[in-house]
Structure 1
């Protein structure tokens, strides 16, 4: 993943604010309506005076904000998936190499070949001392 500067991290942090703020604000409105109905009614009467074109403008801004963010995140996901798919052949090769260590070696003509074994446990003095101590 590419290194990102402080400005990019700040912008990402600011981009995470609107959705939780709207959700918590809505819960706050419900709470305010229950705590002080007269205060809440006065605020809602003020909101009712907002002209309809302004509501359309607000809706467009919010829609474009979330739509653009959704598209950017979708494209980032596609890039990550493409990078992962590009790495699949290397992972398959590594898995085959590891599996080859586990199973007996097979020559090109299909016959098993004796592979030299890694040091036998009896040849390891530290392991022999440890087993004797147990």
Structure 2
């Protein structure tokens, strides 16, 4: 698989993009450790978090969701592009095979006329016009 050459800045930004998920995971583990090591310190921090207004939590949730959603979308599109390129290469290497012989499909004949109305008094004008043109 051929990859384009990337500069130092691109590699640096890619490295930064890989930090948030591990940082959140290790941060959560660290909070659990801090709660066990110094419950009073941990309680003071959690009281501070409880004072954060709810709209700010919603905004932070939206930003985090868009960040991870955009990364997931980009990775998904990259995967699909790689798969499409692999399929094109695979088809170029393999000669085209003739279609496998098989039975011919059997088509049922269409009726030339439709059943007559049952005599309930319901008349379909379009159906009657069609019957007249078929007669």
Question: TM-score higher than 0.5 here?
Answer: yes
Any runs of at least 4 consecutive aligned residues in structure 1 with deviations exceeding 4 A, and if so which?
A: none
Larger helix share, 1 or 2? 1
| Gap regions ≥5 residues in structure 1 | 94-134
TM-score normalised to structure 2 length: 0.66
Structure 2 runs not aligned, ≥5 long: 96-135
Paired residues, number: 93
Tell me what 2:35 maps to.
33
CA distance in 2, matches of 1:76, 1:41: 44
**CA offset digits 1:48-98 (Å, max 9, x no partner):** 0000010011000000000000000001001100110011024436xxxxx
C-alpha separation in 2, matches of 1:7 and 1:82: 29
CA shift digits 1:4-29 (9 cap, x unpaired): 11111111100000000000000000
1:15 equivalent in structure 2: 17
Aligned position for 2:65: 63
- CA-based RMSD of the aligned residues comes to 1.0
Greater Cα radius of gyration, structure 1 or 2: 2
CA deviation vs aligned residue, 1:18-49 (integer Å, no higher than 9, x gap)? 00000000000000000000100000000000
Of stretches 1-10 and 75-84 in structure 1, the one that deviates more from structure 2 is 1-10
Higher relative contact order (CA 8 A, sep 6+): 2
